[in-house]
Amino acid sequence: MSKEVSNILRLRKLGIDTHTENIIFMRSDCLVCRSEGFTANTRVSVNLNGSSIIATLNVITSELIAENEAVLSEEGFRKLQAREGDLITVTHVQPILSFSEVRAKMFGKKFNESALQRIITDITHGLYSKIEIAAFVTVCSGDNLALDEVIYLTRAMISSGTTLSWPVPRIMDKHCVGGLPGNRTTPIVVPIVAAAGLVIPKTSSRAITSPAGTADVIETMTPVTLTLEQIQAVVRQEGGCMVWGGAVKLSPVDDVIIAVEKALDIDSAGQMIASVLSKKAAAGSTHTIIDIPVGLTAKIRTREEAFLLEYYFRAVGLAIGMELDVLITDGSQPVGRGIGPALEAQDVLAVLRNAPNAPQDLKTRAIQLAGLILEGAGKADKGKGAAAALSILESGKALDKFYRICQAQGGFREPQAAPLRHDVLAERSGLVKSVDNRKLAKVAKLAGAPKSPGAGILYHAPIGKHMEKGQPLFTIFSETQGEINYALAYMHTTDHIVELASP
Amino acid sequence: MSKEVSNILRLRKLGIDTHTENIIFMRSDCLVCRSEGFTANTRVSVNLNGSSIIATLNVITSELIAENEAVLSEEGFRKLQAREGDLITVTHVQPILSFSEVRAKMFGKKFNESALQRIITDITHGLYSKIEIAAFVTVCSGDNLALDEVIYLTRAMISSGTTLSWPVPRIMDKHCVGGLPGNRTTPIVVPIVAAAGLVIPKTSSRAITSPAGTADVIETMTPVTLTLEQIQAVVRQEGGCMVWGGAVKLSPVDDVIIAVEKALDIDSAGQMIASVLSKKAAAGSTHTIIDIPVGLTAKIRTREEAFLLEYYFRAVGLAIGMELDVLITDGSQPVGRGIGPALEAQDVLAVLRNAPNAPQDLKTRAIQLAGLILEGAGKADKGKGAAAALSILESGKALDKFYRICQAQGGFREPQAAPLRHDVLAERSGLVKSVDNRKLAKVAKLAGAPKSPGAGILYHAPIGKHMEKGQPLFTIFSETQGEINYALAYMHTTDHIVELASP
């Protein structure tokens, strides 16, 4: 026989982090558990002081919490601005109407603009669970989104968050579609472009599954978590910034969708375009250069894929009124030597400081990208942008601007590599034939990057270089021996990361 | 600076039930959390005494557990046969290779037989997380599976679990695709068919999102959780059984997939066919009757949909060597009067006992289905099956057989309705024009069915009946006033459940 249990519950905080999903833990004998039932996706509304969130139900079958108590995941506490001891009410959730559009898409019906607006609004408000987002991401995957659907999706994502506006008509930006370790051109491009007198308020992301996001790299040299007002002050003063975009809620729904996409390890062209361009448009950018590295172990594997992506970028850019240039680059191997926040930052500084040992490949890429931006803004003639950018870099003006931006963001510091090192040696001699970017990134992650900013890899074996047996192919940097061991254990389970040509 | 933490951890049990997904809760400062990173879908291998499961990582940021401790969800404890205090090791998981087939399907590539075998094997072994299953279910949804893919999927699901074999060549079975409250023909059909000398080892499911599964209804009258050996003994003695299929692991992967399908509220023809026929084939059935109720608020909404489903059932049945008959029935309103385990059981008993007030619609359906089975097995001429079934029912032989089967399963008891009642009254007079099956089912669930077996609804207003203002349309039965209030609160948020024609 059941007893009467109220649906007013006292919140307990147990420090359970369930990533981006709100979870509520309730006792199996509570009224809500009894009447809602408990499925793989039971969702309830959790209400406190007029705010409410939707949470997925997990059930407590022990005495971990008392009757009339409930536990929220940390994300739930944050979103509801709740504290331990607060009294919540838990109520029934109506079905999410917009999800019927996702179901219709499963049956081959195209999304119209209103459908995508409603879906994106509901995801932004936390109405979709992880598995519902997984279904949405799946119906948008592959080549299942037509150009008009990508345009609608981009517009819907732009309007899901803050939009920045700037007092000048021309706002420059750059973006790399990613997937290539060490391809850290942003902290070189931004000071060159800003030193040329242009405005480039660059926001970057943190790593999700890679060993370093651009924001992680820059953070080893200067603070990147700035408020909107601070960003505007830095840009007003220096013409450019290098900050973490997550702090300013540009296209916030993108983070939620990307988390599930990454979990499924799918990169669909449509989603990627909408994700990138919605962030750029929300940041107020009017001119954007897109870097698409192509390589067998990069995100984009063939030139055909890159061409298709270029088409989509240009067509959606046109539809939302953004000028776009695309640069298809070599993605066959890491750029520079470092992989991991501090190690990549050291490469960046070597280039900015015109150090004799600065990685030339990183320098060349940054110059090319900065050159295209200068050309796009009319600061250099067609074909003369790279030379103009090189001159700004080699004159020391870019380094000076870099330090000034860092100062405006809160100060500069030298990036520090982690203390423990382990060399991975060539087992025989030969010319380097290929390198697996993905596996290299995985090793850097297992060594602790980006959580330990000094951890990662220093890579010594570019394609075409002759290695002697016993020479280090790369060096693993880590804070702990345990992490080095974990990375080595992974390497034992996989094929060669660096392939040498047969003698 | 991080400290050294081992990846050997002591298990804590906190009674956290996360439904069918294995979750491991680990401290944010442990080695694995540091090196794997923490995403929406971080998966690790949890190993104990040579067994291992894959679990999704959640992170504990408090002192809820000590260093070197980890918590598993209840499902994880069950699958690993672990106990509190056991020492587990947590290791890195290789990417799931079969998921690349799901990704390829997103790009429009068809599944071949090997792909579906590998996917189903990996899901069976718990390698897929909920969101990966959501992606799989989505690419199989709508009309995205061709006939050959449905056949491969069915075969893969059959081989994922136990297969029963019987010492007679002809094994009868029935299945209803569901979605219609009160359509509880199984406990009437089984005794009629068994009384005719045929073998019908019927396994049924429990409710997932409905107010009563067939197993829940039968359980109010006799035990349904039998071992394989007990089932075989019952069938040997009586020719039939009425048991819960979940206890005997027929097509176990089906439960995992259905949980996610239900969560997304999608019913795709291909998945449904594979799900039903794999369970039937695994149960050893050679002849199956499929009941497809059609109605605007039933699972199948149009006759066109029903015809397509019939085609798939017949074609897949042919491919796996099963004889099939399909009966398309009226799904416009509930069958019988009761909705909820005990209330439906009372309808069933009234029919079996030839009580004067027995619901005729339920009786007619059961007779039709049993008749088709008798015809299919050569126990009646074509067109004469229903009359033969009726004669077995009205002679009392079916009731006698029903009691004998219950006795063999562990004894018979009278089902008991819940004590609290609330009449929902007609607000004006008029002819009943339509009824919303889904909303009626929801009210029965909120009233406590099937967790409280006596809870649910007694329905008094069949389509076409004249109701006076103030007459009860239906009666809500519940164990607690709180549940009645919860059901009434839902009714206030929705349109009329029973529509009366304008005067």
Residue given tokens 């991991």 in the structure block: A340
Residue A60 to residue B14, Cβ atoms within 8 A = yes
In whole angstroms, what is the distance from residue B216 CA to residue B206 CA?
A: 6
Residue A134 to residue B139, Cβ atoms within 8 A = no
* Rg of chain A, C-alpha, whole Å: 25
Q: Per residue in B152-176, pLDDT tens?
A: 999 999 988 888 889 899 999 999 9
pLDDT at B212: 93
| From A342-346, A482-486, B276-280, B289-293, the region with the lowest mean pLDDT | A482-486
Confidence band, pLDDT 50/70/90 cuts, at residue B325: very high
Residue A35 to residue B139, Cβ atoms within 8 A = no
| Neighbouring-strand partners of residue A41 | none
SS3 helix, strand, coil % of chain A, rounded to 5? Answer: 40, 20, 40
In whole angstroms, what is the distance from residue A139 CA to residue B449 CA?
A: 35
- List the single residue in A108, A135, A486 with the smallest CB-CB distance to B138: A135
- Residue A362, pLDDT > 90, answer yes
- Residue A173, pLDDT > 70, answer yes
Beta strands at B466-467 and B498-500: parallel, antiparallel or unpaired: unpaired
Residue B259 to residue A16, Cβ atoms within 8 A = no
In whole angstroms, what is the distance from residue B408 CA to residue B243 CA?
A: 11
Residue B4 to residue A263, Cβ atoms within 8 A = no
- Residue A401, pLDDT > 60, answer yes
Is A86 an annotated catalytic residue? Answer: no
- Give the pLDDT mean for B275-284: 92
Number of A/B CB contacts below 8 angstroms equals 245
Mean pLDDT, chain A, rounded, equals 91
* The total number of residues written for chain B in this structure: 503
For residues B241 and A19, the answer to whether their CB atoms sit within 8 Å is no
Q: How many CA atoms lie within 13 A of B381 on its CB side?
A: 1
**All residues at 6 or more sequence positions from A451 whose CB lies less than 8 Å from its CB, including other chains:** B34, B37
Interface probe, candidates B4, B36, B41, B494, chain A, greatest A C-beta count within 10 A: B41
The distance from CA A416 to its chain's CA centroid, rounded to whole angstroms, is 23
* CB proximity A139 to B under 8 Å: yes
- Number of helices (H), then strands (E), belonging to chain B: the values are 18, 19
Q: Per residue in B447-481, pLDDT tens?
A: 999 989 999 999 999 999 999 999 999 999 999 99
Most confident by average pLDDT, A12-21, A409-418, B22-31: A409-418
B:246-285 residues touching chain A, CB 8 A cutoff: 259-260, 262-266, 268
By three-state DSSP, how is residue B278 classified? helix
- Residue B1, pLDDT > 60, answer no
* CB proximity A132 to B under 8 Å: yes
Q: For domain B420-500, which CATH number applies: 2.160.10.10, 3.40.640.10, 3.90.1170.30, 3.40.50.1370? A: 3.90.1170.30
| From A110-119, A147-156, B439-448, the region with the lowest mean pLDDT | B439-448
Residue A132 to residue B259, Cβ atoms within 8 A = no
Confidence band, pLDDT 50/70/90 cuts, at residue A503: low
* Rg of chain B, C-alpha, whole Å: 25
Q: Virtual CA dihedral for A205, A208, A210, A214, nearest 10 degrees?
A: 10
pLDDT at B387: 98
CA nearest B363: which of B375, B374, B379, B352?
B352
The CATH class that applies to domain A99-158 reads: mainly alpha
For residues B85 and B68, the answer to whether their CB atoms sit within 8 Å is no
For residues B477 and B455, the answer to whether their CB atoms sit within 8 Å is yes
Tell me how many degrees the CA angle B308-B312-B316 measures, rounded to the nearest 5. 175
Tokens read off for A186: 């942003």
By three-state DSSP, how is residue A351 classified? helix
In whole angstroms, what is the distance from residue A367 CA to residue A166 CA?
A: 26
* CB proximity B478 to A under 8 Å: no
- List the single residue in A40, A64, A137 with the smallest CB-CB distance to B14: A64
A:41-80 residues touching chain B, CB 8 A cutoff: 41, 58-64, 73-74
Confidence band, pLDDT 50/70/90 cuts, at residue A251: confident
* CB proximity B142 to A under 8 Å: yes
- Give the pLDDT mean for A471-479: 96
Q: Which residues of A touch B5 (CB under 8 A)?
A: 482
By three-state DSSP, how is residue A409 classified? helix
- Give the pLDDT mean for A103-112: 94
More confident residue, A475 or B3: A475
- Residue B181, pLDDT > 60, answer yes
Tokens read off for B356: 């004067």
Closest CA in chain B for residue A489: B92
The distance from CA B260 to its chain's CA centroid, rounded to whole angstroms, is 12
- Residue A142, pLDDT > 70, answer yes
Q: Which residues of B touch A21 (CB under 8 A)?
A: 40
Confidence band, pLDDT 50/70/90 cuts, at residue B5: very low
Interface probe, candidates B44, B78, B106, chain A, greatest A C-beta count within 10 A: B106
B:448-477 residues touching chain A, CB 8 A cutoff: 448, 451-452
Q: Where are the alpha helices (DSSP H) in A204-251?
A: 214-219, 228-238
Fold that domain A172-409 belongs to in CATH: Pyrimidine Nucleoside Phosphorylase; Chain A, domain 2 (3.40.1030)
Q: Which residues of B touch A446 (CB under 8 A)?
A: 35-36, 92
- Number of helices (H), then strands (E), belonging to chain A: the values are 18, 19
Q: Which residues of B touch A17 (CB under 8 A)?
A: 28, 38, 58-61
- List the single residue in B143, B265, B482 with the smallest CB-CB distance to A107: B143
Angle between helices B397-409 and B228-238 (to 10 degrees): 150
- Residue B297, pLDDT > 90, answer no
* CB proximity A97 to B under 8 Å: no
- Per annotation, catalytic residue among A267, A325, A347, A436: A267
Distance from CA of A493 to the nearest CA of B (A): 9
Confidence band, pLDDT 50/70/90 cuts, at residue A1: very low
Tokens read off for B226: 């039998």
Q: Where are the alpha helices (DSSP H) in A74-162?
A: 74-80, 99-106, 113-124, 130-139, 147-158
| Neighbouring-strand partners of residue B292 | B328
Angle between helices B437-446 and B481-492 (to 10 degrees): 150
- Give the pLDDT mean for B37-58: 83
- Give the pLDDT mean for B148-152: 97
Q: Per residue in B398-408, pLDDT tens?
A: 999 999 999 99
Q: How far is CA B217 from CA B283, B338, B382, B383, B451, in A?
A: 21, 11, 32, 30, 11
By three-state DSSP, how is residue B280 classified? helix
The amino acid sitting at A32 is: V
* CB proximity B384 to A under 8 Å: no
For residues A327 and A300, the answer to whether their CB atoms sit within 8 Å is no
For residues A9 and A87, the answer to whether their CB atoms sit within 8 Å is yes
Distance from CA of A387 to the nearest CA of B (A): 41
- List the single residue in B19, B37, B132 with the smallest CB-CB distance to A40: B19
Distance from CA of A375 to the nearest CA of B (A): 37
DSSP code at position B357: T
Q: What DSSP letter does each residue of B89-128 carry, written as one string?
A: EEEE----TTHHHHHHHHTTPPP-HHHHHHHHHHHHTT-S
Residue B130 to residue A132, Cβ atoms within 8 A = no
Residue A40 to residue B137, Cβ atoms within 8 A = no
Q: Which residues of B touch A14 (CB under 8 A)?
A: 60, 62, 64
| From A38-52, A139-153, A303-317, the region with the lowest mean pLDDT | A38-52
Tokens read off for B364: 């007619």
| Neighbouring-strand partners of residue A478 | A420
pLDDT at A28: 83
Q: Which residues of B touch A129 (CB under 8 A)?
A: 263
In whole angstroms, what is the distance from residue B223 CA to residue A267 CA?
A: 50
Mean pLDDT, chain B, rounded, equals 91
pLDDT at A136: 97
Say how many C-beta atoms besides its own lie within 10 A of residue B383's C-beta: 9
| Neighbouring-strand partners of residue A95 | none
pLDDT at B496: 86
For residues B442 and B297, the answer to whether their CB atoms sit within 8 Å is no
Q: Per residue in A25-80, pLDDT tens?
A: 988 877 777 666 667 678 888 999 888 888 888 888 888 898 889 999 998 898 89
Q: What DSSP letter does each residue of A290-349 carry, written as one string?
A: EEEEE-TTSSB-SHHHHHHHHHHHHHHHHHTT-EEEEEEEE-SS-SSSEESHHHHHHHHH
Residue A131 to residue B132, Cβ atoms within 8 A = no
Q: How far is CA A110 from CA A103, A159, A226, B107, in A?
A: 11, 21, 40, 16
End-to-end CA distance of chain A: 79
Q: Per residue in A53-63, pLDDT tens?
A: 888 888 888 88
Q: How many CA atoms lie within 13 A of A151 on its CB side?
A: 15
Residue A58 to residue B18, Cβ atoms within 8 A = yes
* CB proximity A21 to B under 8 Å: yes
pLDDT at A358: 97
Confidence band, pLDDT 50/70/90 cuts, at residue B4: very low
Angle between helices B186-195 and B360-376 (to 10 degrees): 40
CA nearest A190: which of A217, A164, A165?
A217
* CB proximity B2 to A under 8 Å: yes
For residues B156 and B324, the answer to whether their CB atoms sit within 8 Å is no
Tokens read off for A195: 């030193």
pLDDT at A193: 98
More confident residue, B187 or B41: B187
Domain assignments of chain B as residue spans, ordered by start: 8-92, 99-158, 172-409, 420-500
More confident residue, A408 or B248: A408
- Residue A235, pLDDT > 90, answer yes
Residue B92 to residue A139, Cβ atoms within 8 A = no
Domain B8-92 belongs in CATH node 2.40.40.20: yes
Distance from CA of A4 to the nearest CA of B (A): 6
Q: Where are the alpha helices (DSSP H) in B228-340?
A: 228-238, 252-264, 269-282, 303-320
For residues B252 and B124, the answer to whether their CB atoms sit within 8 Å is yes
pLDDT at A482: 87
In whole angstroms, what is the distance from residue B53 CA to residue B44 CA?
A: 8
By three-state DSSP, how is residue A69 classified? strand
- Per annotation, catalytic residue among B173, B254, B255, B267: B267
Q: Which residues of B touch A455 (CB under 8 A)?
A: none
Beta strands at A430-435 and A466-467: parallel, antiparallel or unpaired: antiparallel
* CB proximity B416 to A under 8 Å: no
Distance from CA of A106 to the nearest CA of B (A): 5
Q: Which residues of A touch B142 (CB under 8 A)?
A: 106-108
Tokens read off for A270: 């449509």
Closest CA in chain B for residue A26: B16
End-to-end CA distance of chain B: 79
CA nearest B20: which of B69, B66, B68, B53?
B53
Residue given tokens 């500069």 in the structure block: A412
**All residues at 6 or more sequence positions from B54 whose CB lies less than 8 Å from its CB, including other chains:** B22, B43, B44, B45, B46, B93, B125, B126, B127, B129
pLDDT at A37: 65
